[in-house]
Structure 1
Amino acid sequence: MEERHGARPQHQVSSSSGGSYAHPPECRIIDLPPVVILEIFRHLDPRELSVVACVCPLFRILASDSHGWKEYYCERWGLPGAVAPAHEWKQLYVARETRCKALLGRFKLDLLCGHTETVRAVRLVPARNLVVSAGYDSSVRIWDVGDGLPAAWSQPLGETIRAVAVDGELLAVGGSSVVRVWHASPGCSHLFDLARNSSGRFLRGHSGPVTCLGLDARALYSGSWDMTVKIWKRHRLEKFSQSLHHSDWVWGLVARGECVLSTSGSDAYSWDVETGALLRFRPCVHRGNALAVEGSRTGSFLITGGEDGAVRVFDNRIPPSVTLAGECSENDAVAAWLPHSAAVNSLAFDDPSLVSASADGSIALMDLRHVMRKGSIKSRAAATVKRPYTCVVKGDTVQRMLSSGGSCAYSVDIGSDRIVSAGEGTAIKVWDFSQALEFEKKTQALRSVRREQRAQRKLAIKNRRKE
Structure 2
Amino acid sequence: MVRLIQEGVLMSSSSSSTTSNNNDSDDSLSPSASTKSFVLNTLRPPITGAYKPLAVLSAHVGSVSSLALCGEFLLSASQGKDIIVWQQPDLKIFAKFGQGDGSVKALVSVGSKVFTAHQDSRIRVWKVSRRNSENAFRLVDTLPTTKDYLGKFMKQSNYVQTRRNHKRLWIEHADSISCLAVHAGIIYSGSWDKTLKVWRLSDLKCLESIKAHDDAINGLVAGDGRVYSASADGKIKIWGKEKRKQIESTSSSSLHVLKATLEGRAEVSVNSVVVSGDGNWVYGGGSDGFVMGWEKREKGEDLEEWRLGFETRGHNMAVLCMCVVGEMVCSGSADKSIGLWRREASGILCKFGVIHGHEGPVKCLQASPNNVGAGFMLYSGGLDKSLRVWWVPKHDNLEEKKSSFKTLLMQKG
Q: TM-score, normalised by structure 1?
A: 0.60
Partner Cα distance (2:101, 2:385) in 1:
18
- Of stretches 302-311 and 138-147 in structure 1, the one that deviates more from structure 2 is 138-147
| Residue of structure 1 equivalent to 2:269 | 289
| Residue of structure 2 equivalent to 1:259 | 226
Does 2:208 align with 1:242?
Answer: yes
Does 2:277 align with 1:310?
Answer: no
| Residue of structure 2 equivalent to 1:144 | 87
Measure how far apart 1:286 and its partner are. 5.6
Alignment check: 8 A CA contact 1:345 1:357 kept: yes
Q: Which amino acid aligns with 1:267?
A: K
Q: Which amino acid aligns with 1:219?
A: I
Does 2:126 align with 1:160?
Answer: no
Do the aligned partners of residues 441 and 368 (structure 1) sit closer, same or farther apart at CA in structure 2, a change above 3 Å counting? closer
| Residue of structure 2 equivalent to 1:183 | 127
Partner Cα distance (1:216, 1:190) in 2:
28
Q: Deviations over 1:409-459 (max 9, x none)?
A: 111111241111111112200103489968515989xxxxxxxxxxxxxxx
| Residue of structure 2 equivalent to 1:405 | 358
Unaligned runs of 5+ in 2: 1-47, 145-171, 243-254, 370-375, 408-413
Alignment check: 8 A CA contact 2:50 2:393 kept: no
Measure how far apart 1:181 and its partner are. 1.4
Q: How does 1:183-222 map to 2 (within 5 A)?
A: 183-185=127-129, 187-188=130-131, 193-194=136-137, 197=138, 199-204=139-144, 205-222=172-189
Alignment check: 8 A CA contact 2:378 2:390 kept: yes
Does 2:390 align with 1:431?
Answer: yes
Higher helix share: 1
Partner Cα distance (2:134, 2:292) in 1:
36
Higher strand share: 2
Bigger relative CO (Cα 8 Å, ≥ 6 apart) = 2
- Of stretches 347-356 and 297-306 in structure 1, the one that deviates more from structure 2 is 297-306
Does 2:319 align with 1:352?
Answer: no
Q: Which amino acid aligns with 1:440?
A: S
Measure how far apart 1:173 and its partner are. 1.0
| Residue of structure 2 equivalent to 1:277 | 257
Q: How does 1:55-70 map to 2 (within 5 A)?
A: none
The equivalent position to 1:174 in structure 2, one of 117, 120, 125, is 117
| Residue of structure 1 equivalent to 2:63 | 118
Tell me the secondary structure at the aligned position of residue 141 of structure 1.
Answer: strand
Alignment check: 8 A CA contact 1:283 1:331 kept: no
Do the aligned partners of residues 104 and 353 (structure 1) sit closer, same or farther apart at CA in structure 2, a change above 3 Å counting? farther
Partner Cα distance (1:104, 1:273) in 2:
43
Unaligned runs of 5+ in 1: 1-102, 321-327, 373-390, 445-467
Partner Cα distance (1:299, 1:234) in 2:
24
Q: Which amino acid aligns with 1:290?
A: V
Alignment check: 8 A CA contact 2:230 2:270 kept: yes
Alignment check: 8 A CA contact 1:177 1:206 kept: yes
Alignment check: 8 A CA contact 1:256 1:296 kept: no
Partner Cα distance (1:443, 1:130) in 2:
25
User: Identity percentage over the alignment?
Assistant: 23
Partner Cα distance (2:241, 2:126) in 1:
23
Partner Cα distance (1:254, 1:226) in 2:
18
Do the aligned partners of residues 266 and 331 (structure 1) sit closer, same or farther apart at CA in structure 2, a change above 3 Å counting? farther
Tell me the secondary structure at the aligned position of residue 440 of structure 1.
Answer: helix
Q: Deviations over 1:138-181 (max 9, x none)?
A: 11111123112111111413311111112343211111200111
RMSD of aligned Cα (Å): 3.0
Tell me the secondary structure at the aligned position of residue 60 of structure 2.
Answer: coil
Does 2:54 align with 1:109?
Answer: yes
- Of stretches 405-414 and 249-258 in structure 1, the one that deviates more from structure 2 is 405-414
Partner Cα distance (1:168, 1:360) in 2:
35
Larger radius of gyration: 1
Partner Cα distance (1:272, 1:222) in 2:
15
Alignment check: 8 A CA contact 2:379 2:388 kept: yes
| Residue of structure 2 equivalent to 1:333 | 308
Partner Cα distance (1:191, 1:344) in 2:
37
| Residue of structure 1 equivalent to 2:22 | none
Do the aligned partners of residues 133 and 415 (structure 1) sit closer, same or farther apart at CA in structure 2, a change above 3 Å counting? same
Partner Cα distance (1:438, 1:267) in 2:
38
The equivalent position to 2:281 in structure 1, one of 301, 309, 316, is 301
The equivalent position to 2:337 in structure 1, one of 351, 362, 374, is 362
Does 2:378 align with 1:419?
Answer: yes
Q: Deviations over 1:193-217 (max 9, x none)?
A: 22xx2x4420032111100001123
| Residue of structure 1 equivalent to 2:76 | 133
Q: Deviations over 1:97-128 (max 9, x none)?
A: xxxxxx96542421122111211112234xx3
